[in-house]
Amino acid sequence: MKNFVKKLMLVMSVVILTLPIFTSTVQAESTVEAEPEINATAGMIFDEHTGQIVYKKNADEKVAIGSITKIVTLYLVTKAIKEGKFTEQDTLRPTQAQAAMTQKSELTNVKLDADKDYTVKDLYSAAWIVSSNSAAMMLADKVAGSQANFVKLMRSTVSSWGIKGAKLYNVSGLNNSDLDAGMYLGPKNGENKLSANDIGVIVKHVLDEYPEVLKTTSMPKLAFPIDGVVKSFDSLNLLLKGSRDYQEGNEFDGLKTGTTAEAGESFVGTLPLNDTRIVTIVLNAQGEKTDLDKRFRSTQRLVSYLKEHYERKEILKKDQNIQINDKKYKTYEPIYTWLPKNFNIEELRYTVSSGDLGFTAIHNKQTVKLIATNTGNGYLPFKKADVKKVVHEKKTNQKSWWNQIVEFFNHLF
């Protein structure tokens, strides 16, 4: 009995002595798997080129987005310019209501006068860089003839991208209660709402189709003509180089802030990293109202999380064979994916993509899209817009049978 007690005490002593080691091991593992503290209602970080999501929080929840709305608005303006419907040198004049809005400090930061003309280029820059609401409205009127028509265009555009349940009421992102009649659709207190997934899909379309918008969004200052003098305004994106919250190594060059009472403070950011492009989304950052940097700190935490816990790895080489359900596929270029630093590439599993994202491989001389199925948070619900083919009827010079009869008798006399 005494021997048993001694053995039992010896075992307990070993357990007690090794407990701190076990605890520290568990803590180390949990640290690696820890999620970033973004302190926001919803958020996301993804690879813009591939659509791969590294982290997401409440990605399907529709929330107020404020001036992040202008990403959709300015996409459609950019599209209209590229299609030759008007030029950056064309001039526009604000309505009395649009000019009056710029006199309210809580609604604008760039003054517009109802008796002055402004170039499309200046208005476009003002809408991107300092989020001018009236500038966005003027551009929308130019594109669609009215803001109501433009909102309908916004809705049909995001719908064509597979986005369902979007709540879009106006072109600026303000609450409808801040707008005059004719500046919105929907209820008097309606506010634009999208999910992080929706915003991710929108941003991918914008940057895939018009990456040149980054030339504008990367500008730390706006030069805008006011009262005959060109004045300078700081960009609202405080992560740009030279701005207050800039961090060396995180070279943000876009994209858009959003702020209303309901939306809180939100930010969609983008930066080049490791030969690809990263997009961050922070919606309704939490904290004190006087803290004007909380959305940017949350954004920086997302990027730090990516850098600390993930790396962009080459998972497949050029001309490498992949077997899926007894079918062989061959890559025609190296494939890269974000993976946890301790992830074994050999554990990756592949399948044929059900959407438009994934890497291209060849099977029986035909190309298909493949994705890795176990990378973590999957991919954006991305689909390319359906391109409607316009059938043009051929015009002929053939005359109707009646005209031919009339002409016949005319020639008789």
At 154-207, the pLDDT tens digits run 999 999 999 999 999 999 999 999 999 999 999 999 999 999 999 999 999 999
Averaged pLDDT, 96-125: 92
Beta pairing class for 254-260 and 264-273: antiparallel
Based on the fold, state whether residues 174 and 62 are members of the same structural domain.
yes
Here the CATH number for the domain that contains residue 357 is 2.30.140
C-alpha torsion angle, residues 270, 273, 278, 280 (rounded to 10): -60
CA distance 278 to 296: 15
Query: What rounded mean pLDDT belongs to the chain?
Result: 88
Averaged pLDDT, 74-80: 98
Q: Is 146 a catalytic residue?
A: no
Examine residue 255 and say whether the peptide bond preceding it is cis (omega within 30 degrees of 0): yes
pLDDT of residue 32: 40
Domain containing 317 equals 312-372
What one-letter code names the amino acid at 329? Answer: Y
pLDDT band at 21 (very low <50, low <70, confident <90, very high): very low
Choice between 59 and 13, residue whose per-residue pLDDT is larger:
59
pLDDT of residue 9: 55
Residue 18 lies in a domain: no
Based on the fold, state whether residues 283 and 328 are members of the same structural domain.
no
Cβ-based neighbours of 316, under 8 Å, separated by 6 or more: 322, 331, 334, 335, 359
Residue 173 lies in a domain: yes
Closest CA to 197 of 104, 293, 281, 136: 281
Based on the fold, state whether residues 238 and 333 are members of the same structural domain.
no
pLDDT of residue 29: 34
Here the CATH number for the domain that contains residue 97 is 3.40.710.10
pLDDT band at 413 (very low <50, low <70, confident <90, very high): very low
Choice between 401 and 233, residue whose per-residue pLDDT is larger:
233
Out of 311, 327, 360, a domain closes at 311
Based on the fold, state whether residues 218 and 354 are members of the same structural domain.
no
- Is the pLDDT reported for residue 410 higher than 90? no
**Residue 399 in marked binding region:** no
* Tokens matching residue 228: 């005959």
Least confident window among 29-38, 218-227, 246-255, 401-410: 401-410
* Tokens matching residue 170: 């106006």
Catalytic one among 70, 142, 193, 204? 70
Distance between start and end Cα atoms, the chain: 139
Full strand arrangement of the beta sheet holding 321-324: 321-324, 327-331, 359-363, 366-372, 350-352
Choice between 7 and 215, residue whose per-residue pLDDT is larger:
215
Residue 2 lies in a domain: no
Residue 201 lies in a domain: yes
Based on the fold, state whether residues 142 and 243 are members of the same structural domain.
yes
C-alpha torsion angle, residues 381, 383, 385, 387 (rounded to 10): -160
Based on the fold, state whether residues 267 and 220 are members of the same structural domain.
yes
Residue 289 lies in a domain: yes
Q: Quote the number of domains for the chain.
A: 2
Distances (CA, A) of 149 to 96, 374, 377: 20, 43, 37
- Is the pLDDT reported for residue 403 higher than 90? no
Based on the fold, state whether residues 195 and 321 are members of the same structural domain.
no
Averaged pLDDT, 86-112: 92
pLDDT of residue 356: 87
pLDDT band at 215 (very low <50, low <70, confident <90, very high): very high
- Is the pLDDT reported for residue 61 higher than 90? yes
Based on the fold, state whether residues 320 and 210 are members of the same structural domain.
no
Cβ-based neighbours of 65, under 8 Å, separated by 6 or more: 173, 192, 193, 194, 199, 258, 263, 266, 283
* 217 phi and psi angles, rounded to 5 deg: -70, -20
Choice between 404 and 74, residue whose per-residue pLDDT is larger:
74
Catalytic one among 56, 57, 131, 134? 131
The per-residue pLDDT for range 300-350, each reduced to its tens digit, is 999 999 999 999 999 999 999 999 999 999 998 999 999 999 999 999 999
Q: Is 56 a catalytic residue?
A: no
pLDDT of residue 210: 98
Based on the fold, state whether residues 291 and 330 are members of the same structural domain.
no
Averaged pLDDT, 287-293: 92
CA angle centred on 159, ends 237 and 151, rounded to 5°? 65
pLDDT band at 411 (very low <50, low <70, confident <90, very high): very low
Q: From the CB of residue 99, how many other CB atoms can be counted at a distance below 10 Å?
A: 18
Based on the fold, state whether residues 304 and 331 are members of the same structural domain.
no
Q: Is 196 exposed, middle or buried (0-12, 13-18, 19+ CB in 10 A)?
A: buried
Residue 66 lies in a domain: yes
Out of 271, 291, 311, a domain closes at 311
pLDDT of residue 250: 98
Q: From the CB of residue 237, how many other CB atoms can be counted at a distance below 10 Å?
A: 28
CA distance 45 to 305: 10
Based on the fold, state whether residues 334 and 225 are members of the same structural domain.
no
Q: Are 175 and 260 in contact (CB under 8 A)?
A: yes
Residue 403 lies in a domain: no
Residue 366 lies in a domain: yes
pLDDT of residue 354: 86
pLDDT of residue 76: 98
Choice between 15 and 365, residue whose per-residue pLDDT is larger:
365
Catalytic one among 56, 67, 172, 235? 67
CA distance 258 to 185: 20
pLDDT band at 67 (very low <50, low <70, confident <90, very high): very high
Based on the fold, state whether residues 79 and 141 are members of the same structural domain.
yes
Q: Is 62 exposed, middle or buried (0-12, 13-18, 19+ CB in 10 A)?
A: middle
Look up the pTM and report it: 0.85
The per-residue pLDDT for range 115-153, each reduced to its tens digit, is 999 999 999 999 999 999 999 999 999 999 999 999 999
Out of 311, 329, 357, a domain closes at 311
Q: Is 354 a catalytic residue?
A: no
